[in-house]
Structure 1
Amino acid sequence: MASVLYSVNMNVRKRVGVLISGNGSNLQALINAAYGHDYPAEIALVISNKSNAFGLQRAAKAAIPTYIFDNKAYSNRISFEYDIDLVLRKADCDIVCLAGFMQIFSQKFTEKWEGRILNIHPSLLPCFKGLHPQRQALEAGVKITGCTVHLVTAEVDDGPIILQAAVPVKDKDNEASLSARILEEEHRIYQKGLAILANVLR
């Protein structure tokens, strides 16, 4: 009997809360992946700090519960993070995925969710951290850049790397064209990175 129960528990999909601020194309990639019968994670809810984020429509179309917490409506970050944490825990989320969420979490929040927050960044970390990494890559004159799925820590873009994909920089690239090609790779590897973490946490 014990072995049967163990087998069932091993097949339970990890519940994921996805945080967005905008278009949500990486959210869509995760939603699409989660439709797979053998995918080890499911999208339990979507949280945005922007009421007009298009990603909320993507979630609604997939019948995923959505929540809006406007950071500007809060007098301090502690209250903002408390409400997000509360919703995630009430929904029994195992993993948090940041998908274009334009807010930085405090050390207290990241420690609560240590080893369970994923982010995708459009560079080959540790290179080109922070804002506009595609522009940074072009200005640096590198021939290869890419994207990175990593665990989130209190230090921005500094957590353990889960997965990376390289993207060549073409001579005629501008920020928009390079960003578009990197984004294609983001859609490909974010769902793989989430699957890796979900399987590790089983």
Structure 2
Amino acid sequence: MGKTKRIVFLASGRGSNFSASVEYIRKKKLKVEILALVSDNPDAKALAIAEKFGIPTKVVPYSSYSSKLDYHRDLLRVVEAFRPDLIVACGYMRILKPDFVQSFPNQIMNVHPSLLPAFPGLDSQKQALDYGVKVAGCTVHFVWEGVDTGPIILQKAIAIRPEWTEKELSLAILKEEHEILPLAIQLFCEDKLKIKERKVEILK
């Protein structure tokens, strides 16, 4: 086991993946220091969850910036000040800019509600249903420049039932996200992830 890993979470909304990850980290007694939850949305439910857990919060309110460049510059400044080993984007609805990604090479993890590289971007569940695929799922990946690119760490597939609506599919996928995101965090914190070109090897 290596040194204690310092983690910052990014979230924009309800915070269910954030909550599941914190509960897992604490239940497993992982060598982790959760430094903060950073949000672009002052109304994000994730902020209340962080406060319940006693985790510091920081809001960089996207809507108050007239310049996207200024927002992303401030976001980078805020996160850099924490000196994290890992940044976990869980329901963070902004595309991280190249400067941010380059500042934390292979230290940013994201969870996405599709089996990447299929259906990147927004409304992945609707894309899957519209396309008529029989299997959907979720992916945890390292963040590289681009939308939902970067080496895949873990994936979980589920069979789509013919009667499912977009909401039902989303809930089914979310349940699996709550399983694989905390596990991916654990693997990172135990130094069990090795990147070779664009593939992730999970060490025993």
Scaled by the length of structure 2, the TM-score of the pair is 0.89
Matches within 5 A, 1:36-75: 36-75=27-66
Q: CA deviation at 1:72?
A: 2.2
Segments of 5+ residues of structure 2 without an aligned counterpart are 194-204
How many residues of Structure 1 are paired with residues of Structure 2 in the alignment? 193
Distance 1:110 1:185 in 2: 26
**What secondary structure sits across from 2:190 in the alignment?**
helix
Corresponding residue to 1:100 among 80, 85, 91: 91
Distance 1:130 1:116 in 2: 21
Letter in 2 for 1:101: Y
Distance 1:23 1:178 in 2: 17
Distance 1:195 1:37 in 2: 9
Matches within 5 A, 1:12-161: 12-161=3-152
User: Identity over the aligned pairs, expressed in percent?
Assistant: 37
Task: Report the equivalent of 1:7.
Answer: none
Task: Report the equivalent of 1:176.
Answer: 167
Q: CA deviation at 1:37?
A: 4.5
Scaled by the length of structure 1, the TM-score of the pair is 0.90
Q: CA deviation at 1:51?
A: 0.7
Letter in 1 for 2:54: A
Distance 2:60 2:28 in 1: 32
Instruction: Describe the superposition over 1:96-131 as per-residue Cα deviations: whole angstroms up to 9, x where unpaired.
Output: 111111111111111111100000000000001111
Structure 2 residue 147 is matched with structure 1 residue 162: no
If you compute each CA radius of gyration, which structure gives the higher value, 1 or 2?
A: 1
Segments of 5+ residues of structure 1 without an aligned counterpart are 1-9
Distance 2:28 2:138 in 1: 27
**What secondary structure sits across from 1:87 in the alignment?**
helix
Q: Please say if residues 136 and 157 of structure 2, whose CA atoms lie closer than 8 Å, have aligned partners that are also in contact.
A: yes
Q: Please say if residues 13 and 41 of structure 2, whose CA atoms lie closer than 8 Å, have aligned partners that are also in contact.
A: yes
Moved more, 88-97 or 188-197: 88-97
Instruction: Describe the superposition over 1:33-81 as per-residue Cα deviations: whole angstroms up to 9, x where unpaired.
Output: 1213542433210011111111100000000000111112223333322
Distance 1:86 1:66 in 2: 15
Q: CA deviation at 1:85?
A: 2.4
Distance 2:192 2:64 in 1: 35
Distance 1:18 1:105 in 2: 13
**What secondary structure sits across from 2:129 in the alignment?**
helix
